[in-house]
Structure formats: structure tokens, C-alpha cells
């Protein structure tokens, strides 16, 4: 992925409200939940904050949270079946490869379980060079850089910073030792 086309961050729902307000003032977008489907019956939202599982992670690593493909409101959704699947059902696939006007968005999310509790990182990224994709990506990047504090390779939202200061772990994976967590330098 080209440098500058990913923004890693820690944020809470209230941190995201500020960023999403900035972006929605500039762009009309739709947020499609990125998930395997048997049919192209996408879960599409005007705001990712409306998704019931937003901000909650079912696993102790960052991959257990909800993910979105973010597109212009008028962009069609490309769908295709996976070839050579070894299961009776044919699961469909849609991703950024067929939706080049899009950005991938994985919100930061909270997990509490046997490995402890903490805020797991999120990211905005794109592999596309389509002008719409870059416009969306840059709108999110600009808002995050303006509103969040930079800590190492990540940006940390105001409420997430307060969580860090109160002792909550900010990490990629709660199973890793705490010395790998994001913290103040």
C-alpha cells in the first residue's frame, strides 16, 4: 500500500462523531458493512454509528470488530461469487477491488474478556487511486489529524486519550504484552 494511504487510530464513538460530522459536511457517503453474504443483501447505513455492533469487539485483537466499505452515496456496489469454494453455499464477495471508489474503514473498538480489556485500534485505508477514493480518504485523514493527538504511528481521539490516561490499554491485541501498547512518549 502506498505510504500515506492508511491512518491508524484509537477512538470512541464520541470521538468518531466529530470526525463523521466533518466528513459528512463535505461528502455524501454510504457505509456498507463488510461481511460475507449468501446474497447481495448488503447492510447499508448513512452513518456507521447506527450499526448495532459499532465500537464493540468480539475478539481480543483488532480484527474482531465491524468493518465498512465507505463509498459515495451514488456509487454502485460490485458483487461477485467466490470461485472454487469448497462449501455447498456460494458466498459472495465485495471489497475494494471491485469498488474502486471506496475506502476501507475499521473503527477502533472495545473488548473485555479473558485477556483483559482495552481499546483496539482502527484504521482508514485505501488501495485505490480513484479520485473518489482519495477524496474520501483525505477527508477522514484531515479530520483525524485535526482532532486527534498523534502518539507514535497512531492518532488518538480525545476520549480515547482520557481512557489511556486512566489506565485503559490501547493496543492491537490484548494477548500481547502491555509494553507493545500505544502510550505517551
Model pLDDT for residues 130-171, shown as the tens digit of each residue: 999 999 999 999 999 999 999 999 999 999 999 999 999 999
**Residues 160, 10 contacting (CB under 8 angstroms):** yes
How far is the CA of 129 from the CAs of 5, 66, 105, 144, in angstroms?
A: 10, 24, 16, 21
What is the end-to-end Cα distance of the chain in Å, rounded? 27
Give bridge partners of residue 76 from the DSSP assignment. Answer: none
- Kindly state the greatest CA–CA separation across the chain: 52
User: What is the C-alpha to C-alpha distance for residues 114 and 51, in angstroms, rounded to an integer?
Assistant: 25
Model pLDDT for residues 51-109, shown as the tens digit of each residue: 999 988 877 777 778 999 999 999 988 877 666 556 555 556 566 667 889 999 999 99
User: What is the C-alpha to C-alpha distance for residues 165 and 147, in angstroms, rounded to an integer?
Assistant: 17
**pLDDT exceeds 50 at position 1:** no
More confident residue, 119 or 1: 119
What confidence score (pLDDT) does residue 3 get?
A: 47
What confidence score (pLDDT) does residue 65 get?
A: 86
**Residues 122, 104 contacting (CB under 8 angstroms):** no
More confident residue, 141 or 2: 141
Instruction: Provide mean pLDDT across the span 118-129.
Output: 93
What confidence score (pLDDT) does residue 27 get?
A: 98
What's the predicted TM-score (pTM) here? 0.88
Amino acid at each position: 500500500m502506498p505510504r500515506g494511504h492508511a491512518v491508524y487510530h484509537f477512538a470512541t464513538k464520541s470521538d468518531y462523531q466529530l470526525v463523521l460530522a466533518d466528513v459528512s459536511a463535505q461528502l455524501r457517503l454510504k457505509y456498507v458493512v463488510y461481511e460475507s453474504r449468501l446474497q447481495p443483501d448488503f447492510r447499508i447505513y448513512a452513518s456507521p454509528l447506527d450499526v448495532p455492533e459499532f465500537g464493540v469487539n468480539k475478539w481480543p485483537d483488532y480484527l474482531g470488530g465491524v468493518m465498512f466499505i465507505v463509498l459515495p452515496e451514488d456509487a454502485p456496489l460490485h458483487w461477485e461469487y467466490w470461485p472454487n469454494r469448497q462449501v455447498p453455499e456460494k458466498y459472495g464477495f465485495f471489497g475494494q477491488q471491485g469498488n474502486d471508489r471506496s475506502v476501507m474503514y475499521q473503527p477502533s473498538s472495545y473488548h473485555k474478556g479473558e485477556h483483559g480489556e482495552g481499546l483496539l485500534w482502527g484504521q482508514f485505508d485505501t488501495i485505490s487511486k480513484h479520485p473518489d477514493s482519495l477524496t474520501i480518504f483525505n477527508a477522514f485523514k484531515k479530520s483525524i489529524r485535526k482532532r486527534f493527538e498523534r502518539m507514535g504511528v497512531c492518532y488518538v481521539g480525545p476520549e480515547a486519550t482520557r481512557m489511556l490516561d486512566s489506565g485503559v490499554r490501547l493496543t492491537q491485541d490484548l494477548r500481547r504484552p502491555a509494553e507493545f501498547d500505544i502510550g505517551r512518549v
